[in-house]
Amino acid sequence: MLINIIAGNSSEILAKRISRKLNANLIKSKVKVFPDGESKITLKGKFIGSKTVVVQSIYPPVDSNLIQAFALISKAKENSSEVIAVIPYLAYARQDREFLPGEIVTMKVLGNLFKGVGANKIIVMDIHSKLGLKQFKIKSENVTAIPNLVKYFKSIKLENPLVVSPDQGGKERARRFSEEFKLNFIALQKFRDRKTGKVKIKNEDVCEVEGRDLILVDDMISTGGSIVKATEFLKKQNCKRVFVICTHALLINDAEKKIKKAGVTKIISTNSIPGKTSVVDISDIIAKAIK
Ligand code: R5P
């Protein structure tokens, strides 16, 4: 069956790669942002067949990319009976529950909006927690970039490597990565102050890291705070080199500089978000999920 792939402004190259893999009909989009911040989108191409996939990662400018995703999905629905939203990085995924009284669970709002504009299914990648997707009333699938990240890492010569999750919430991710790599893993105890956002590592000494190369595995890097704290802690435990892999590297402001200053040798991420560290391609994984 012929599939239309709409390349959203935030994921143009990724959409092109997915489209090539599926031999799909690529529809490009052109965005004009007005001085007041409004986006005007024009599609370049024609719809063929009944299935359309919209590819648009929601990274900064978050709300602008989000409204563009809604507009693209809505247009896709006018022209096809089945619409799949491919949102490899979905901002707001961390707002999946009410942490402090009165907080709005924005993932619930997003769930309603994606359905409202006409998406039949959403595909995300290495989402922060699966709880967020439970708020969605449409079909959802969370695919993982781990096999491709592991493949990339196998080309790096490592000394007695150990996989480390910076927090208990990322334990499953680190387990999966370590199993694919056939390595052991540990998970640190991270504590985040919900009011200030500041993080602390609360472990006692961790002797198994001494003299070893470490691979810190996380779903995303935003300000870099979590990775900096974890690296500082691990360096105090006399580890060797620290490599960081994540699926989504937002690297807000000087995050990369802070992470390097803390002693990280290399950051590796996927092209869910384009950038300097985004060297691992995920288009094959997404194409497989669309088929
Ligand atoms: C939180 O638990 C996530 O898995 C990431 O570790 C976190 O969101 C990254 O944010 P930042 O880089 O700002 O610490």
Is the pLDDT assigned to residue 98 strictly greater than 90?
yes
Confidence of residue 63 (pLDDT cuts 50, 70, 90): very high
Which of 90, 167, 196, 226 has most ligand 1 atoms within 8 Å of CB, for mutation? 226
- Phi and psi, residue 84, nearest 5°: -110, 130
Nearest CA to ligand 1 atom 2: 169
- Alpha-carbon dihedral angle through residues 32, 136, 196, 167, given to the nearest 10 degrees: -110
Ligand 1 site residues, Cβ closer than 6 angstroms: 94, 128, 166-167, 169-170, 218-226
User: What's the mean per-residue pLDDT of the chain?
Assistant: 96
What spacing in Å lies between the alpha carbon of 49 and ligand 1's midpoint? 40
Is there a contact between 186 and 175 (Cβ–Cβ < 8 Å)? no
User: What is the pLDDT, as a whole number, of residue 160?
Assistant: 97
User: What is the pLDDT, as a whole number, of residue 276?
Assistant: 96
Catalytic residues: 190
The amino acid that residue 48 corresponds to is I
Report the pLDDT averaged over residues 263-289: 98
Report the pLDDT averaged over residues 12-40: 97
What spacing in Å lies between the alpha carbon of 35 and ligand 1's midpoint? 32
Which residue, 2, 28, 32, 23, is CA-closest to 13?
28
Spatial separation of the C-alpha atoms in residues 64 and 66, rounded to whole Å: 5
Atom of ligand 1 nearest to the CA of 199: 14
What spacing in Å lies between the alpha carbon of 192 and ligand 1's midpoint? 10
pLDDT in tens, 77-90: 999 999 999 999 99
Confidence of residue 202 (pLDDT cuts 50, 70, 90): confident
List Cβ neighbours of 93 (8 Å cut-off, separation of 6 or more).
107, 124, 127, 128, 129, 132
Report the pLDDT averaged over residues 127-147: 95
Atom of ligand 1 nearest to the CA of 169: 2
Whether the model pTM is above 0.75:
yes
Confidence of residue 205 (pLDDT cuts 50, 70, 90): confident
pLDDT more than 70, % of the chain:
100
Report the pLDDT averaged over residues 189-217: 91
User: What is the pLDDT, as a whole number, of residue 64?
Assistant: 97
Is the pLDDT assigned to residue 95 strictly greater than 90?
yes
Please state, as a whole number, how many other Cβ atoms lie within 10 Å of the Cβ of residue 32: 9
What spacing in Å lies between the alpha carbon of 132 and ligand 1's midpoint? 16
User: What is the pLDDT, as a whole number, of residue 206?
Assistant: 87
pLDDT in tens, 213-263: 999 999 999 999 999 999 999 999 999 999 999 999 999 999 999 999 999
pLDDT in tens, 160-175: 999 999 999 999 999 9
User: What is the pLDDT, as a whole number, of residue 203?
Assistant: 83
Report the pLDDT averaged over residues 182-189: 95
Which of 95, 221, 248, 258 has most ligand 1 atoms within 8 Å of CB, for mutation? 221
User: What is the pLDDT, as a whole number, of residue 1?
Assistant: 78
